[in-house]
Amino acid sequence: MSASSGLLTRFLADAVARAPESLAVVDQDHALSYRDLAAAATRLATELARRGVGRGDRVILMQPNSAAFCVAWWGILAAGAVAVPLNPETLPARLAFILGNCTPRAIIADSALGETVAQAQAEAGQALPVLEADRLAAPAAGDEVPATLAQPPVLDLDLAAIIYTSGSTGAPKGVMLTHLNMTAAARSVAEYLGYQPEDHIFCAIPMSFDYGLHQVNMAALTGASVRAEPGFAQPFFALKRLQDSGATVLPLVPTMVPMIAPLADRFDLSRVRLVSSTAAALHAELIDTICAVLPGARVFSMYGLTECHRCTYLPPEELQRRKTSVGIAIPNTELWVIDDAGQAHRHSATGELVIRGATVMKGYWQNPEATARRLKPGPLPGEMVLHTGDICRLDAEGFLYFVARTDDILKIGGEKVAPSEVEAVLSAHALVSEVCVLGAAHPVHGQVCVAHVTGTATPEALLDWCRSRLAPASVPFRVMIWDAMPRTQNGKIDRAALSARFEAPRAPVAALQPAE
């Protein structure tokens, strides 16, 4: 076995060896075979080396979903460097923080981001070489096409990527992922999803987000191809391209489902055989919607976090009878929960979720305190396991149910309230499109429950709905109706922005009733 077999770049090299002319990635401007992709990645790796980028150096990658993103991703890895993928909508202040935190040697960015990059570099006091990613996918005249992708002088324990978390509760943290972390995740997820060489993956999830990035990795692993879709902000046009592309695999996040449902009957989406969902809870009503608009597709409800990519998946055959479950551990991974007394349980208990396996991150870049809170000694001597900070329930058969983030559990009048329970009840209302339940400080109760909703229901109707289905402490103090939810760069509901829209009332005790 080759010494480089454990490297992520081996996926691309093997794809070239198997089927060099097979389609690797296509966008609105380019269609690259695996040979083309490897050749372009090699050119970039050579250019990075010329600019002094070597083993372990960090390289910022800011590019929309595109063939150029894929070239840059593989090129950075082929140079032995560490990719730091960032959403192209990253603001200068955040980029400046990341520049100072990971001290990269180069930046690869879309040409339209010149002002953002310049402003961030000035703020960070840096002057780095900037390569324009959108020129990378074009073939270079006269270049000799390599027979395969050269493997970098690194080990599978070396870093492949640093992925920065959203930082909604503080400064962004850089999740360190090794080649082994990423190859283990790709192999595990591709196994249970059943990706095939004939598959064409419609990737509208940001490739700067680990869920989107792993579509690129799994495609190379299995010989599948990727349609790099810039986003889903214009769902009509995105669905038209989904139809025309003949895509067979649709990775999505729950917030995309309400955008797809009203338009789906205008398009022929019958070739989609597989749908996966992660990033947030996929409520039962959304599962029903997906099954209705894509009846020929197998639906995988999944759960994970950047620190280990994927924790669980729900086998499609369990979907109808366990809609609220996020499933079982992915292959080659173990999980359990730890209760308030510190006891570990593998079924019939509620507590903090713990993950053991090769997908668990190496730690947070330059942040030993945060690393120590998440990585703790495991059951075997010398190993570390991931304490996720997520409260979950295991049923008698070992199926997992997400309850809440540890920090999200509300304490209302001395009682614990899980926002996910309230969200599930509100999501079941026919006139509710989306819901996000947050806590707000209150001078008497400590906290109150505030429901942020999109849809056509009235606050009064939703409060009545909740009173008939929830314990008194769980009934929202207030329901706020919005035309649209604010979003993070990864498409999730921006909880911090919603919190900023609401300030808990300073009412006397006698007036403390759920508001309209």
The pLDDT score that the predictor gives to residue 505 is 42
Which of 7, 89, 356, 63 is closest to 212 using CA atoms? 63
The pLDDT of residue 506: 36
Best CA proximity match to 166, nearest among 503, 495, 500, 499? 495
pLDDT at 489: 64
- State the residue for tokens 């103090």: 477
Residue-wise DSSP of 38-91: HHHHHHHHHHHHHTT--TT-EEEEE--SSHHHHHHHHHHHHTT-EEEEE-TT--
Q: Which residue, 136, 126, 142, is CA-closest to 58? A: 126
User: CB of 333 within 8 A of CB of 311?
Assistant: yes
Report the candidate in 442, 438, 425, 443 with the shortest Cα–Cα distance to residue 494.
438
Q: Which of 405, 407, 435 is nearest to 422 (CA)?
A: 435
Output the pLDDT for position 498: 81
What residues have CB less than 8 Å from 458, skipping those under 6 apart? 481
Q: Could you give the CA distance from residue 275 to residue 297 in angstroms, rounded to a whole number?
A: 6
Residue type, 230: P
Q: What is the pLDDT of residue 504?
A: 40
Domains located in the chain, CATH noted:
409-511 (3.30.300.30)
Query: CA distances (Å), 199 to each of 220, 227, 250, 363, in order?
Result: 11, 11, 10, 33
Query: What region, left, alpha or beta, does residue 12 occupy, with left being phi > 0 and alpha being psi -120 to 50 degrees?
Result: alpha
* Alpha helix ranges (H) inside 223-350: 235-245, 257-260, 284-293
The pLDDT profile of the chain, 516 residues, written as one tens digit per residue, is: 455 578 999 999 999 999 999 999 999 999 999 999 999 999 999 999 999 999 999 999 999 999 999 999 999 999 999 999 999 989 898 899 999 999 999 999 998 999 999 999 999 999 999 998 777 766 665 556 566 777 899 999 999 999 998 644 467 899 999 999 999 999 999 999 999 999 999 999 999 999 999 999 999 999 999 999 998 989 999 999 999 999 999 999 887 888 899 999 999 999 999 999 986 667 788 888 999 999 999 999 999 899 999 999 999 999 989 988 999 999 999 999 999 899 999 999 999 999 999 999 999 999 999 999 999 999 999 999 999 988 899 999 999 998 877 667 777 766 667 787 788 889 889 899 889 888 887 766 667 889 999 999 999 999 999 988 887 878 998 898 998 888 776 667 887 788 777 654 433 322 333 333
The Cα–Cα gap between 336 and 21 comes to: 44
